[in-house]
């Protein structure tokens, strides 16, 4: 069984919001469902997983859900064995007792540091690099998700795009514009809502709880729902992952943030606007430009200018009304480009499959 690398452990610390645990949960589910792996997901805050998967009981230390064993990663957690593949998500630092168990194992496990998604070109050269432990007989490999064949791909379940198309078949013809708004509280939400209110078509905007709804409530007052000119702004409950995917499929435009919703909006195939996580010294804007350099390939100069303006204004401030008007005016062309972009990304190996192949090569 060791050669098959049947047992996998994924370690996740919940730093902020649901992005880290969202990526780890999607990966764990897919490894179990599509690759037959026995996965333990170690998470330091099980309560963060419960909204994404309502079947999870946040008050127990161990449980089985969707074929994945979920374990509470606490200071008193006992590690009776190491897995054959160990994924340290986003440099979360493995506990010392678990590292000792890895060092004592024979053969040694395949140890992966799953990095954050980036479109920056340097990631291609760093993907798969080995890093020997300074004192233990262990080697860690850096694994980068990405948008090129030189990286590890994006999370994409085998039947995701087919299920999307079946769900959307027979829909359409609605005269309103449906929008999902998932953002940080630093986004220029008020100016965007004002732009929605001036649209010639009716607009319905779905706003999830947390920072998006807090930003809208601060601007409009009260708890909603709100009517602003031609726009209906509707608070929505927190959705489990699969339901959120369907919301993205249904909406005409998706405002997304961070990593998980960013990737899922791309698989939705609809025009989207990404707010990247803000970093010191505006390092996040370098990452934003790197993505746009890839994403805009194939656009004519006018369309690229429109898309770049919308993304940049949403992340840095500026004339939202003008950027939004240009974005919507070019909606059909952006939608056609998105379709080509999705096909290009779908032709690459998905992240889970790439991980399985990579780890097998290290046996």
Catalytic positions:
20, 259
Residues 88, 112 contacting (CB under 8 angstroms): yes
Calpha distance 115→291 (Å, rounded): 16
Residues 31, 39 contacting (CB under 8 angstroms): yes
Q: What is the DSSP letter of 148?
A: S
Residues 276, 287 contacting (CB under 8 angstroms): yes
Q: Which strand ranges, in their side-by-side order, compose the sheet holding 253-257?
A: 226-228, 231-235, 203-207, 177-181, 253-257, 272-275
Peptide linkage before 225 cis (omega within 30 of 0): yes
- At 142 the three-state DSSP class reads strand
Calpha distance 35→49 (Å, rounded): 22
Residues 95, 60 contacting (CB under 8 angstroms): no
Residue whose C-alpha is closest to residue 243's, from 167, 172, 171, 183: 167
Residue whose C-alpha is closest to residue 268's, from 190, 215, 346, 205: 346
In DSSP terms, which residues pair with 207 in a beta bridge?
A: 235
Residue 126, number of CB atoms within 10 A of its CB: 14
Residue whose C-alpha is closest to residue 206's, from 253, 167, 136: 253
């Amino acid at each position: 069984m060791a050669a098959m690398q049947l047992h996998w452990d994924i370690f996740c610390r919940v730093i902020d919001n649901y992005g880290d645990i969202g990526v780890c949960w999607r990966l764990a589910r897919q490894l179990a469902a599509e690759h037959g792996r026995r996965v333990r997901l170690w998470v330091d805050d099980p309560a963060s997983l419960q909204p994404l998967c309502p079947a999870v009981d946040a008050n127990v230390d161990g449980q089985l859900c969707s074929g994945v064993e979920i374990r509470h990663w606490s200071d008193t957690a006992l590690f009776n064995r190491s897995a054959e593949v160990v994924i340290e998500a986003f440099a979360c630092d493995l506990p010392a007792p678990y590292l000792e168990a890895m060092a004592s194992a024979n053969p040694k496990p395949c140890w992966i540091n799953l990095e954050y998604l980036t479109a920056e070109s340097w990631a291609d050269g760093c993907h798969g690099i080995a890093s020997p432990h300074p004192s233990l007989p262990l080697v860690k490999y850096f694994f980068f998700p990405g948008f090129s064949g030189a990286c590890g791909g994006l999370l994409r379940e085998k039947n995701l795009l087919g299920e999307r198309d079946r769900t959307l078949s027979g829909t359409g013809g609605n005269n309103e514009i449906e929008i999902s708004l998932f953002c940080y509280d630093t986004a220029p939400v008020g100016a965007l809502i004002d732009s929605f209110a001036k649209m010639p078509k009716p607009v319905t905007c779905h706003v999830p709880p947390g920072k998006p709804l807090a930003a809208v409530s601060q601007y409009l007052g009260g708890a909603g729902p709100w009517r602003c000119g031609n726009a209906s702004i509707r608070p929505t409950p927190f959705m489990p992952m699969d339901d959120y995917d369907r919301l993205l499929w249904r909406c005409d435009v998706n405002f997304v943030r961070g990593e998980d919703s960013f990737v899922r909006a791309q698989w939705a195939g609809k025009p989207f606007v990404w707010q990247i996580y803000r970093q010191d010294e505006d390092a996040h804007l370098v990452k934003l430009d790197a993505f746009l350099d890839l994403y805009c390939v194939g656009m004519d100069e006018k369309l690229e200018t429109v898309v770049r303006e919308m993304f940049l204004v949403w992340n840095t401030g500026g004339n939202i009304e003008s950027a939004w008007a240009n974005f919507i005016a070019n909606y059909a062309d952006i939608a056609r480009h998105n379709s080509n972009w999705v096909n290009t990304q779908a032709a690459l190996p998905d992240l889970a499959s790439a991980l399985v192949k990579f780890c097998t090569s290290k046996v």
